[in-house]
Chain A
Amino acid sequence: MRLDDLKRVNLAREGRRPVAVVTPLDGSAGRVVLADEAAGDPLADELAARFASGKSGRVSTAAGDVFVRVHNPSPRLTIIGAVHVTQVLAPMAIAAGFDVTIVDPRTAFATEERFGSFNLVAEWPDAELLGLDPQTAVATLTHDPKIDDPALMAALDAGCFYVGALGSRKTHGKRVDRLTAAGYGPDAIDRIHAPIGLNIGAATPAEIAVSVLAEIIAVLRAPPARTTARVSEKTAA
Chain B
Amino acid sequence: MTEDDPLEVAARWREEGRKVAIATVVDTWGSAPRPVGSHLVIDGEGAFEGSVSGGCVEGAVVAEAAEIAAGAPPRLLEFGVADETAWEVGLSCGGTIRIYVEPLEAAA
Are A27 and B10 within 8 A (Cβ)?
no
Residue B100, interface by CB 8 Å: yes
Residue B43, interface by CB 8 Å: no
Question: Binding site of B, secondary structure by majority: helix, strand, loop or mixed?
Answer: mixed
Residue A94, interface by CB 8 Å: yes
Residue B50, interface by CB 8 Å: no
Residue B76, interface by CB 8 Å: yes
CA distance A2 to B104 in the complex (A): 5
Q: Please give, as numbers and ranges, the residues of chain A lying within 8 Å of B24 by CB-CB distance.
A: 23, 67, 69
Chain A, interface residues (CB within 8 Å), range: 20 to 34
From A14, A25, A56, A95, give the contact of B37 (CB < 8 A). A56
Q: Please give, as numbers and ranges, the residues of chain A lying within 8 Å of B76 by CB-CB distance.
A: 25
From A6, A13, A23, give the contact of B100 (CB < 8 A). A23
Beta-carbon contacts under 8 Å, B74-108 to A: 74, 76, 100, 102-108
Question: Binding site of A, secondary structure by majority: helix, strand, loop or mixed?
Answer: mixed
> Digit string of A1-12 for contact with B (CB within 8 Å is 1, else 0)?
111101101100
Are A9 and B105 within 8 A (Cβ)?
no
Are A13 and B1 within 8 A (Cβ)?
yes
Are A10 and B11 within 8 A (Cβ)?
yes
Q: What residue of chain A has the Cβ atom nearest to residue B25's Cβ?
A: A56
Residue B45, interface by CB 8 Å: no
> Digit string of B22-55 for contact with A (CB within 8 Å is 1, else 0)?
1010110000000011000000000000000000
CA distance A26 to B57 in the complex (A): 23
Are A3 and B26 within 8 A (Cβ)?
no
Residue A31, interface by CB 8 Å: no
Q: What residue of chain B has the Cβ atom nearest to residue A4's Cβ?
A: B107
Are B36 and A9 within 8 A (Cβ)?
no
Given contacts A1-B105, A6-B7, contact A27 B14 (CB under 8 A): no
Are A10 and B8 within 8 A (Cβ)?
yes
Q: Please give, as numbers and ranges, the residues of chain A lying within 8 Å of B1 by CB-CB distance.
A: 10, 13-14, 74
CB proximity of B27 to chain A, nearest CB, Å: 6
Q: Please give, as numbers and ranges, the residues of chain B lying within 8 Å of A25 by CB-CB distance.
A: 26, 76, 100
CB proximity of A173 to chain B, nearest CB, Å: 40
Q: What residue of chain B has the Cβ atom nearest to residue A11's Cβ?
A: B11
From A4, A27, A55, A95, give the contact of B2 (CB < 8 A). A95
Beta-carbon contacts under 8 Å, A47-72 to B: 55-58, 67, 69-70
